[in-house]
Amino acid sequence: MEEIKEVFLRLAREKGIRYGELRLEELEVTSISFRGKELEELSVSKSRGGNIRILGRYGWGFVSFNDISHKSIEDYFDQAYTASNLILGEDLEIEYSGPVVDRVIVPMKKDFRGIPLEEKKKLLEEYNNIMLSFSPKIQSTQVRYSDRFTRRYFVNTEGVDVVQERGDIAGVLFALAKEGDLVEQYHYSLGGIDGFQVIEGLHDKALHTAEMAVRLLSAPVVKGGEYTVVLDQRLAGVFIHEAFGHLSEADHVYENEKLKELMVIGKRFGPDFLNVVDDPTYPGLRGSYKYDDEGVLSRKTYLIKNGILSGRLHSRETARKMGESVTGNARAINYRFQPIVRMSNTYIEPGIYSFEDLISDIKYGIYAVGAYGGQTSMEMFTFSAQEGYIIENGKLGDLVRDVVLTGNVFTTLQNIEGIGNDLEFSQGGGCGKGGQSPLPVSTGSPHIRIRNVVVGGR
């Protein structure tokens, strides 16, 4: 790899390019899954690939490839260089971050590369058996697991030379219960970057997953309407990721004058007690990293402080265009893609309330728990819960299902009425943007309470 880097830097000097990057990546993946009682997948894969990105006067030329050799790099460099010169228009400037040489290894307590396939399979089989034998109503299950070890090399023309290594585990426990024609499901997402131990000892989670799938069989579909809702930590994390996180990504804003006016720093978006953070430096989470895919050192960014818009997430290009500092949020899911502005670990800081405080004075509302996912169009967003409970006169009541919530960024955040003191992070989340999915991110939040949330339903 060293030799390839030198070829790239030599070519960059010879052509006198303004700015260019070379990213190389080596990846090894083990995948194991069960479907029902059958082992469905046990496989290993290995890949190597890279890309070159060159900044022309007016735009970017980008080439990705699998063939990494002395000779091929010269061809790919030419392709990227030629492409960058085909773009005409307005001058494009970027922010520079200065030279750095570093090697970052995320330590794993229990390195999954040293664990035999058989042992991994056995553990997953235990979880699968717990779910399958929970009740005759459990019709089927899925257990999916993959571990991936990645080594990423990054060099650029301003003297950044960084190698980053990490292991990442992602998976899910999934139970399906059936009664007559009705099939209900429940899942638990698992994952982490600090070793195999993150998926050990999840036997109670497997049991809970099966139990919830069965319980949902007898739960009615939620009735659509506007409700005061309390979100648990997992769903509130997805909520803040969708409701505000994406709008904080400067690439949505930097070329859009009208959106810039709406997203001006200092504007109020929520109550005084709302603080929202994106922090890739938070240790041990799936969205954590030291350098982003433009070789910029990552840092903590307050998106909302005391209810006021106080920052946003940047790439080198968006930071320059908006006259703000780089934040180290340019990420790519792999070498096939250009880095774009992405979140890392996004969370709501804890407040003062206990869960009981949050629900105690709700006459009629919904407690929404767990997350299937969410989506946003910037202004409007949706997020869906795995289960819901009716709150009546401050007490949790009946279980309901198919709880999908929607909101509007300009009103829903203002409607947050209370923030709990019980911050938790979720692992196992993947984010999609611009065709790049799933990017490892984490979301976090305490319990939160919001009024006037539209819940879909029949």
Query: How far is Cα 335 from Cα 330, in angstroms, rounded to an integer?
Result: 13
Please say whether the beta carbons of 319 and 214 come within 8 A: no
The Cα 368–Cα 391 span in angstroms is 10
Residue from 158, 156, 187 nearest 174 by CA: 187
Q: Whose Cβ is closer to other proteins: residue 180's or residue 201's? A: 180
Count Cβ neighbours within 10 Å for each residue of 343-380 and write b for 16 or more, e otherwise: bbbbbbbbbebebeebbeebeebbbbbbbeebebeeeb
Closer to other proteins by Cβ: residue 107 or 225: 225
Closest C-alpha to 134, from 25, 53, 63, 207: 207
Residue 215 vs 336, nearer CB to other proteins: 336
Q: Which region, judged by CB under 8 A, interacts with other proteins, from 35-43, 164-172, 294-302, 419-427?
A: 35-43
Asked if residue 255 lies in contact with residue 391, where contact means CB atoms within 8 angstroms, the answer is no
Scan residues 331-350 and list those touching other proteins (CB under 8 A): 336, 338
Which one of 56-64, 192-200, 358-366, 388-396 is the stretch in contact with other proteins (CB under 8 A)? Answer: 56-64
From 15, 48, 151, 305, residue interacting with other proteins (rule: CB under 8 A): 48
**Pair 246, 378: CB distance under 8 Å:** yes
**How many residues at the interface with other proteins, by CB under 8 A?**
80
Instruction: Verify binding: residue 66, other proteins, rule CB under 8 A.
Output: yes
User: Could you say which of 1, 100, 172, 378 contacts other proteins (CB under 8 A)?
Assistant: 378
Nearer to other proteins, 111 or 179 (CB): 179
Residue 71: CB atoms within 10 A of its CB come to 9
Q: Which is nearer to other proteins, 259 or 308 (CB)?
A: 259
Does 40 help bind other proteins (rule: CB under 8 A)?
Answer: yes
Residues 434-453, interacting with other proteins (CB under 8 A): 452
Interaction of residue 5 with other proteins, rule CB under 8 A: no
Q: Which residues contact 109 (CB under 8 A, 6 or more apart)?
A: 194, 195, 197
- Compose the 126-165 pattern: x for residues touching other proteins by CB under 8 A, - for all others: -------------xx-------------------------
Phi, psi of 98 (to 5 degrees): 90, 160
414 in contact with other proteins (CB under 8 A): no
Structural contact between residues 65 and 76, judged by C-beta atoms closer than 8 angstroms: yes
Helix pair 70-86, 2-15: axis angle to 10 deg: 40
258 vs 356, beta carbon nearer other proteins: 258
Does the footprint of other proteins cover residue 121 (CB under 8 A)? yes
Instruction: Show the binding pattern over residues 71-90: x = contacts other proteins (CB under 8 A), - = does not.
Output: --------x---xx-xxxxx
Give me the least distance between CB of 337 and other proteins, in Å please: 9
Question: Quick one: 310 or 382, whose CB is closer to other proteins?
Answer: 382
Residues of this chain, 291-310, that bind other proteins according to CB under 8 A: none
Q: Judged by CB under 8 A, does residue 406 bind other proteins?
A: yes
**Closest CB to other proteins among 262 and 308?**
262
CB 167 within 8 A of CB 152: no
Residue 127 backbone phi and psi in degrees, to 5? -60, -40
The least CB distance from residue 182 to other proteins, in Å, is: 7
* Residue 168 in tokens: 């990442």
